[in-house]
Amino acid sequence: MRVPQASADSAVPLRVLVVTGNAIVGGMESHVLRLCERLPRSAFESIALVPFESAFTEALRGCGLRVHVAPIGEKLRWHAIQYAASLVREHDIDVIHAHLPAAHVVAALAGSVTRTPVLATIHAMHLSMWDLEVHRLTATHLCFVSEAARAHALAVGVQPSRISVVRNGIDTNRFTPRTARQGEPVSPVVGYVGRLSPEKNPALFLRAAARIHAHVPDARFVVVGDGPLRAELETLAATLGIDDDVTFAGECSDMPARYRALDLMLLTSWHEGTPLAILEAMACGVPVVATDVGGVAELIVSGTTGALVPPGDDAQMAGRACELLASRAMLARMGERAREHVRARFSIDEQVRATGALLRDVAQGANQSAGAGSTRAFITRAM
């Protein structure tokens, strides 16, 4: 394997194999796409290994990546490990960057076979058993998107020298507030943005919506996203008597416009790392009422940029939402503070810079004990 160059300004770019455990429309995929779009081509050359063809793979190709497909999933397939190892050797890869537990396993085993360092970004609120076991067996370096997840890793015995934190960032030039309210309907619009899957608990949104509607009869609700629970949720909306007031919008290509159409967003998840939907909504000047799980409390300043409620509690979620909807002026002020909070603390440019620095650090072996001081300094900068 090549010896990685010491500087991001080197004439020889760092070669990265990106391995993902899914290829749907989701937060992890958006995270990967932002990095692939923004890491400087002069300093980084990436190829991708993904589990299946999708709109995500086409977007990766649109970023200039060569994309390869192998069976990466909960059932470990030897072919995927062989394919990853062959790509490392064929393209003289300097570092493997894995996303999601199944990808972490494939990357770690391929890295062990080829003696290539591995960085695994953990997008969840805590380490899965797969992540923890493969890390302990192969000494991968772990990057977390929240301090809550980092604390969990330390609690279960991961060495601090093998941990970094790089928070998600948002392009606040793309996600901007609406500029005028003339001609807009008076009825407030409350939204859900996310995959319609069990961990996101979208049924909580509908139960809260029914309670909100009882107190704010002109409120309207929109569900943006798709997934395996859609039919069940449409049935629940009818059962709750709010099917005429809820729009199931499906997946959307123009998310800034979707956020700008909202007055308030609810995030209802059981599990989260650092949800992009919260940051995107706040960047668009939309306050968020969210369940207090994972790294969510690191994003929302409760009472200033939104509110936090216990997971699964539709009564408290609806109550906080009704308090905020009672005053358009209060919502507007909170939305302004939310945007300023994101601009000050969650810059996409800083996320990309920090991730690029970490990839180079790991490629140069800074995740080994001799380089622990360098990695600890990186963690401090990322916090």
Q: What's residue 241's pLDDT? A: 97
Q: Are residues 336 and 359 in the same domain?
A: no
Does 112 map to a domain?
yes
pLDDT over 60 (residue 370): no
**Mean pLDDT to the nearest integer, 107-111:** 97
The pairing of beta strand 189-193 with beta strand 220-224: parallel
The tens digit of pLDDT for each residue in 238-277 reads 999 999 999 999 998 899 999 999 999 999 999 898 899 9
- pLDDT band for position 2 (cuts 50, 70, 90): low
The tens digit of pLDDT for each residue in 207-230 reads 999 999 999 999 999 999 999 999
Q: Are residues 163 and 300 in the same domain?
A: no
Q: What's residue 152's pLDDT? A: 94
Does 284 map to a domain?
yes
In the chain, how many domains are there? 2
Q: Are residues 29 and 151 in the same domain?
A: yes
Does 4 map to a domain?
no
Q: Are residues 304 and 376 in the same domain?
A: no
Secondary structure (3-state) at 311: coil
Q: Are residues 198 and 315 in the same domain?
A: yes
**Mean pLDDT to the nearest integer, 197-216:** 97
- pLDDT band for position 184 (cuts 50, 70, 90): low
289: domain CATH number?
A: 3.40.50.2000
Tell me if 110 sits within 8 A of 96, measured CB to CB: yes
Q: What's residue 156's pLDDT? A: 94
The tens digit of pLDDT for each residue in 319-331 reads 999 999 999 899 9
Which residue shows structure tokens 């990685």? 4
Q: Are residues 21 and 163 in the same domain?
A: yes
The tens digit of pLDDT for each residue in 134-180 reads 999 999 999 999 999 999 999 999 999 999 999 999 999 999 998 86
Q: What's residue 88's pLDDT? A: 98
Domain that holds residue 106: 14-169+347-382
The tens digit of pLDDT for each residue in 21-74 reads 999 988 899 999 999 999 999 999 999 999 999 999 999 999 999 999 999 998
Q: Are residues 151 and 239 in the same domain?
A: no
Q: Are residues 339 and 245 in the same domain?
A: yes
Does 249 map to a domain?
yes
**Mean pLDDT to the nearest integer, 359-364:** 96
Q: What's residue 186's pLDDT? A: 76
Does 227 map to a domain?
yes
**Mean pLDDT to the nearest integer, 342-350:** 95
At residue 342, φ and ψ (nearest 5 deg) are -65, -45
pLDDT over 80 (residue 8): no
Q: Are residues 116 and 216 in the same domain?
A: no
The string of DSSP codes covering 11-50 is: SSPEEEEEEES--SSSHHHHHHHHHHHHS-TTTEEEEEEE
Q: What's residue 12's pLDDT? A: 86
Does 147 map to a domain?
yes
Q: Are residues 125 and 72 in the same domain?
A: yes
Q: Are residues 376 and 321 in the same domain?
A: no
Return d(Cα 357, Cα 366) in angstroms, integer. 11
Long-range contacts of 347-351 (CB under 8 A, 24+ apart): 347/169, 347/170, 347/172, 348/34, 348/38, 348/169, 348/170, 348/171, 348/172, 349/38, 349/169, 350/169, 351/34, 351/166, 351/167, 351/168, 351/169
Does 287 map to a domain?
yes
Q: What's residue 372's pLDDT? A: 40
Q: What's residue 375's pLDDT? A: 37
Q: What's residue 371's pLDDT? A: 39
pLDDT over 60 (residue 369): no
Q: Are residues 330 and 297 in the same domain?
A: yes
Does 174 map to a domain?
no
As beta bridge partners, residue 84 has none
pLDDT over 60 (residue 377): no
**Mean pLDDT to the nearest integer, 83-93:** 97
- pLDDT band for position 367 (cuts 50, 70, 90): very low
